[in-house]
Structure 1
């Protein structure tokens, strides 16, 4: 077996993903900056992101079903092409002085649909490019990509926006072009390697995947734990920003998240060898529950950054362990549907997080808001600790059909 670094198809695929991830991260900061500059309204600044996120969640289940029906390579190429056009359109409208809020909201909807199709197609395609034995290493490289983009993207987005309002969106369009070329050169498999079931309705396709997931006790328990933890942890963003206050210090704190993720990706293999997936999920949740209350100590921005750095160390291992379980256990003709369903189940409550964090910060204050959210995190973790599936030594059953 050749080393993963010599797997040219995977590495080209990864380069394209890294480019588009960086572009998405920098434009993710540029969008609210642009709306604030246009309208002066924080509410409208958050609306564009909320619309994109909500659209992706709403169409997540049918998008996963379409990934299992359609040509996966064409889905990836089509999603990239759509996002090239939309982001270039935003940049062009800015240069022409013709950009409006309805235009931005339409872009949010279209890009939300494109992302809902791209993510499960990307997940299903990646596992077809890598032998089973190298999946943990491949997903660790994926985590490195994501956290590196999270570290560099916001700073780069702010700098490009300062050069010109259209610049970050044109750069984002260019990153999607890089992704388009890389997908084409990686020769992503077009169809599932295992034969799909006889033709049936999309509702039946989705129901088949949901039944398969429901029959896996470990997956049921993980979905419940991650759904609650995602809501609580994401709701802490606004209280943390309010608590830190100074914009420069907020940048330092947000950078600590990326640094912690990068360090955690390097540690992920060791952590995964120590604990099976369910116990690793519980350990990570307990780490959050014990560490995050320390944010309220009045020791300055660097203390806050250090706490978040420590909390992020375990996140890559959690993500990688679950991705490997899914890649090894889910039948290939069901990969798109399961990835789509998991995205919905994990993030279904996340759009409520900014509202929850904002309301708690406004009515109780930043530090009390963090403590209240930590109580919710402890409640989720204690409840999950009673799950026999999470405490078990085994994982999901490995499917019989090997990865080609």
Structure 2
């Protein structure tokens, strides 16, 4: 066994940078729709901004994955986070000068989405490079804990920062991305030991896509994640609207969404010890998520949705860690960037519609009924997943050259 993770300086720098930048992202993930709704009075326009970011990420994912396999992954990570810092700073400046119109939010959301398409696979391959295989499951669990800890502090902190000034959350976001870029630079991610022949992008994508298609279990899991991500993303605005309908403030909304972080941290602590197969885990996650969506609509007050959100978040890290470890075990290193891009694209291709869907449902029927609709759809998905073949895929993998 190699150096313990707590003494692995490269991993800890990546972890620290990711923790800081994810805190900034969770701050603005609440601050952005709240600000757009305050400026326009339209949940749909707030959803359009989130949809623009998701659409840009989806469109850029596959070419970004190919380029990450070809370029220096450390440099890619540094530059993508640097550009994100600049975009957040520009948005803060437009807010301060009174020029933050909807078009500005849309354009900068697209920039952030494209950068995320590069930083995601770059980070995935960087972790694989600096963490020994026998420690990867624990590393993924720590990554999950980092993300959910950010979700504990981010929403209420975002609401408090908005109270201090509408531009403040975005200034903080810019600083966090800058810190993440510096951490990635100091981590000195090693270059690949083997170089692969340069092929046309179409060849690289086809090779990785064919590999995924041959893995029936992964293919079906990806289809389930496609629906889960769509319906999960569609719940954000209905929850915001529900809290507002019950008389809650922006700070109250932040406290409610902190439930995701609290539950996620608890789930991350037990994730490395869970031995259930990914197929069974995903059905469990769907059932819990669907029931919790229904439960949020119960008329128990402003802060009640905190509890169902926390319960949902407890089971989410279990499937994330299990699937991440499975991919690391199966996917050749020189294909990791492409596979990360392709699977993320396949599982998120509908997520650009999620914020708009949530906005339309919440605007048309209110927060509670919208959550009843999404919850029922998730439970139907769970029933379909329970009858599908989600067994573990073949352990053999084709040559990637």
Fold equivalence (TM over 0.5): yes
Establish whether residue 48 from structure 1 lines up as the match of residue 49 from structure 2: yes
Distance 1:328 1:400, change over 3 A: farther
User: Which consecutive unaligned segments of at least 5 residues does structure 2 have?
Assistant: none
Match of 1:327?
328
Deviation at 1:91, TM superposition (A): 2.7
Establish whether residue 397 from structure 1 lines up as the match of residue 398 from structure 2: no
1:215 & 1:314 partners in 2: Cα distance?
A: 28
**Matched residue SS, 1:199:** coil
1:135 & 1:344 partners in 2: Cα distance?
A: 23
1:99 & 1:188 partners in 2: Cα distance?
A: 37
The range that moved more, 238-247 or 321-330, is: 238-247
1:248-259 equivalence runs, <5 A: 248=249, 249-259=252-262
1:92 & 1:367 partners in 2: Cα distance?
A: 36
Deviation at 1:222, TM superposition (A): 0.5
Distance 1:291 1:315, change over 3 A: same
Q: Is the 8 A contact 2:290 2:377 kept in 1?
A: no
**Matched residue SS, 1:247:** coil
Distance 1:180 1:363, change over 3 A: closer
User: Which consecutive unaligned segments of at least 5 residues does structure 1 have?
Assistant: none
Establish whether residue 111 from structure 1 lines up as the match of residue 112 from structure 2: yes
Q: Is the 8 A contact 1:254 1:305 kept in 2?
A: yes
Deviation at 1:40, TM superposition (A): 4.6
Distance 1:33 1:362, change over 3 A: closer
Deviation at 1:276, TM superposition (A): 1.7
1:3-402 equivalence runs, <5 A: 3-191=4-192, 193-196=193-196, 198-244=197-243, 245=245, 246-248=247-249, 249-270=252-273, 272-273=274-275, 275-388=276-389, 390=390, 392=391, 394=392, 397=395
Deviation at 1:259, TM superposition (A): 0.8
Deviation at 1:126, TM superposition (A): 0.8
Deviation at 1:242, TM superposition (A): 3.7
1:333 & 1:17 partners in 2: Cα distance?
A: 23
Distance 1:324 1:71, change over 3 A: same
Cα deviation 1:206-249 (Å, max 9, x = unaligned): 11111111111111110111111222233233333444433245
Deviation at 1:383, TM superposition (A): 1.4
The range that moved more, 41-50 or 7-16, is: 41-50
What TM-score, normalized to structure 2? 0.90
Deviation at 1:96, TM superposition (A): 4.5
Distance 1:80 1:237, change over 3 A: closer
Distance 1:59 1:122, change over 3 A: same
Deviation at 1:281, TM superposition (A): 1.7
Deviation at 1:143, TM superposition (A): 0.6
2:178 & 2:42 partners in 1: Cα distance?
A: 32
Deviation at 1:398, TM superposition (A): 6.5
What TM-score, normalized to structure 1? 0.89
**Matched residue SS, 2:305:** helix
Distance 1:297 1:120, change over 3 A: same
Deviation at 1:109, TM superposition (A): 1.9
**Matched residue SS, 1:74:** helix
Q: Is the 8 A contact 2:211 2:398 kept in 1?
A: no
How many residues align? The count is 394
The range that moved more, 333-342 or 157-166, is: 157-166
Cα deviation 1:167-206 (Å, max 9, x = unaligned): 2222222111211111111111233x4442x322111211
Compute the RMSD of aligned alpha carbons.
2.4
Q: Is the 8 A contact 1:328 1:399 kept in 2?
A: no
